[in-house]
Chains A and B, each alone.
Chain A
Amino acid sequence: MGKYIATRLLSLIPVLFGVSLIVFFLVRLIPGSALEMYMGTQVEATPEQMIELQRIFGEDKPVLVLYVEWLGRILKGDFGYSLRTGRAVLPDILSRLPLSLELTVIALFLALIIGIPQGILSSLRKNPISDVLNRIAGLLGLSLPQFWLASLMVLAFSNTQGWIPMGNYIKFSDDPLRNLRMMILPSLSIGIGLSAVIMRYTRNSMLEVLQMDYIRTAKAKGLAKRIVIIRHALKNAILPVITVAGFNTGYLLGGAIVIEEVFALPGMGRLALYAIYQRDYPVIQAIVLVIATLFVLVNLLTDIIYSLVDPRIRLDNGAKHA
């Protein structure tokens, strides 16, 4: 097991390396360099001041060198300083991590408890008409734009106190109950769409699994239907669902940009968005790198969980016996 994790971690390194390369170089491509923007609000600068400014803004060396230097600093934990606020970037990002994490976890939880049972029930296909309606409802869930759903919720709850963060975000550590109350709606905005995805995957997977020979064997043993479905079918059917749930979770950690924007939540996605709006390069570089890294790590975690459920992956190293 440990060997499996170690191998997978090692394979991440080239990917993260590639990510850092792309992030760094692409950020350089964003038009309107920070220096220019900074200058735009200042009076003319003397040549000496220009040289100094260029050094500060990192424009005095070739890009490749800058990249290596940047990478070196990153590896030591120095993610630079925001051009706008002057504060260190990493602490800023880390302070927002709990929020994004909480949002993701609650949304995932909601999606799983709604999606999986629905998917199972739907796969049993008792009634063709309700099956079709169910599927359309599922697809409808997929079709709702998150920002619209979020906006409608803001609209609906605009007069009710305490349900909408709107700039008054209260941390979980400060007041759990009030925090949860204001996280429900944002999580729901994400969770509804996600539950539709989970439901579809569960349903399709169950449909395939229920056709398998080993289900016939289980029935031939006289096992009760409930046991056949849960112990035999579900354990197999859940595998692709784990993969897709994991993938979407990773996406959510940095991709909940729109939700954070609509509900004015100080999360990582919003930080990334505003950094891009403001051309705050150090922040953009750092946060995109962090988001991508988290994404990759979550996928790894998903793979590990998957291997815990599917013995065939885990024990691939075990040679076949007699």
Chain B
Amino acid sequence: MSEESILRVEGLVTQFSTDRGLVKAVDGISFNLRRGETLGIVGESGSGKSVTNLSILRLVQSPPGNIAAGQVIFQGRDLLQASEEEVRLLRGKNISMIFQDPLTSLNPVLKVSMQIAEAIQLHHGQGRKAARAKAVEMMKLIGIPDAERRADDYPHQFSGGMRQRIMIAMALSCNPDILIADEPTTALDVTIQAQILELIKNLSAKDKTAVILITHDLGVVAGMCDTVCVMYAGRIVERASVDELFYDPKHPYTRGLLDSIPSVDLSGPDRLYSIPGAPPNLIDMPDACPFAPRCSKVMEVCARSMPPETLLDAETSRSVRCWLHTKENRNA
């Protein structure tokens, strides 16, 4: 069961200094990623999921951002302590990232073949011709018709789905160990979403690439992930395998997310369920459970202090951060 761990994040804290105060976007995140595993990070906007991933690659703009604490262990090294140069050498080569909006994430004035080939040139030291050939190969692999001719086209000449495929080609061109996909399908049509996810799944299975998939859509998680972390207000509130999460969610927030999914067999004129309230303001958060104001199962202790992370199963690393599930309260 224990495949080798390829990435380990411990106690990551990333903050942003704004005019109105210090925003703790990520407040103590830890997770472990195994080789070939697909890890899903789920949460609403503002939960800190994107920032977590930018922090791994140290792409957080600083100022105003700042990685205040934690470790990111990759290949035996803590990336947060390494030099900028060392981290740069890993980007695109060992750890790649694709972003949410393929229209704005691709450079409009450069040919797509160039954008794919540059990473190849850089990391594999190949010349321009060889790199371009490889880029065209990648384009064929990801399903772009007439790749040879279209390699000289520009991003605006492709549809949204195609552009995202190009992003994927860019990211996977150097066979990275880890692919971080930040909401890769959010900006796309539903019909295209499935294709893109399928593509990611197939390509990563081929080379045993670990994938960190960030999304707010539980449907995506169900189809793609092995393990899931649920984030709320900068912390991981539940961690489980995908089956466990869907069939036996522990944290009230997770329950709420699952309940919010409209079901096809809704009978009668019931209203759609949504979690009451709104996500918290991340500035000057008190020492309490951040979900307490919206929780249907809130207890007195929830407003007084932050619940610890309780390990539910040492083997699978299943855990939950909730007062309901601490040793004392569970047995009570």
Contacts and interface: CB of A to CB of B under 8 A. Distances in A.
A311 B153 CA distance: 9
Contact of B159 (A227, A315, A320): A320
Nearest to B156: A312
A220 B92 contact: yes
| Contact-residue size bin, chain B (C-beta under 8 Å from the other chain) | 20 to 34
B158 A214 contact: no
A219 B59 contact: yes
A222 interface: yes
B154 A223 contact: no
Contact of B119 (A221, A310, A321): A221
Interface in B138-186: 145, 150, 153-154, 156-159, 162, 167, 170
A318 B107 CA distance: 18
Interface in A308-322: 309-312, 315, 318, 320-322
| Contact-residue size bin, chain A (C-beta under 8 Å from the other chain) | 20 to 34
A232 B88 contact: no
Contacts of A212: 104
Contacts of B134: none
B306 interface: no
Contacts of B97: 217, 220
A220 B91 contact: yes
B208 interface: no
Nearest to A235: B109
A220 to B, nearest CB: 4
A321 B150 contact: yes
Contacts of B229: none
A222 B93 contact: yes
Given A320-B157, A320-B159, A218 B107 contact: yes
A231 B117 CA distance: 13
B118 interface: yes
Given A213-B99, A223-B118, A224-B88, A315 B154 contact: yes
A236 interface: yes
A171 interface: no
Given A221-B118, A222-B90, A224-B88, A213 B150 contact: no
Interface string A282-322: 00000000000000000000000000011110010010111
B114 to A, nearest CB: 9
B122 A222 contact: yes
Contacts of A235: 107, 109-110
A220 B107 CA distance: 13
Contacts of A311: 108-109, 154, 156
A144 B92 CA distance: 48
Interface in A220-269: 220-224, 227, 231-232, 235-236
A220 B59 contact: yes
Contacts of B109: 235-236, 309-312
Contact of B108 (A222, A227, A312): A312
A213 B97 CA distance: 12
A28 interface: no
Contacts of B104: 212-214
Interface in B49-70: 57, 59
Contacts of B294: none
A167 to B, nearest CB: 48
B214 to A, nearest CB: 14
Contacts of B200: none
B281 interface: no
Interface in B74-126: 88-93, 96-97, 99, 101, 104-110, 118-119, 122-123
A222 B86 CA distance: 10
Contact of A216 (B90, B105, B118): B105
A231 B115 CA distance: 11
A219 B297 CA distance: 44
B158 A220 contact: no
Contacts of B110: 231-232, 235
Nearest to A210: B61
A236 B122 contact: no
Contacts of A309: 109
A124 B159 CA distance: 33
A212 B91 CA distance: 19
A236 B157 contact: no
A214 B155 CA distance: 11
A216 B104 CA distance: 10
Contacts of A310: 108-109
B122 A223 contact: yes
Contacts of B156: 311-312, 315, 320
Contact of B92 (A221, A321, A322): A221
Contacts of B105: 213-214, 216-217
Nearest to B158: A321
Given A212-B104, A217-B105, A315 B59 contact: no
Contact of B106 (A214, A222, A321): A214
Interface string B264-292: 00000000000000000000000000000
B330 to A, nearest CB: 42
Contacts of B59: 216, 219-220
A221 B99 CA distance: 12
Nearest to A217: B105
A222 B119 CA distance: 8
Given A214-B104, A217-B105, 5 more contacts: A217-B99, A223-B92, A312-B108, A312-B156, A321-B153
Q: Which 5 A-B pairs have the closest CB atoms?
A: A222-B91, A221-B92, A222-B92, A213-B104, A214-B107
30 contacts: A214-B106, A214-B107, A216-B99, A217-B106, A217-B170, A218-B107, A220-B57, A220-B91, A220-B96, A221-B91, A221-B119, A222-B89, A222-B92, A222-B122, A222-B123, A223-B92, A223-B118, A224-B88, A227-B118, A232-B107, A232-B110, A235-B107, A235-B109, A309-B109, A311-B154, A312-B109, A318-B157, A321-B150, A321-B157, A322-B145
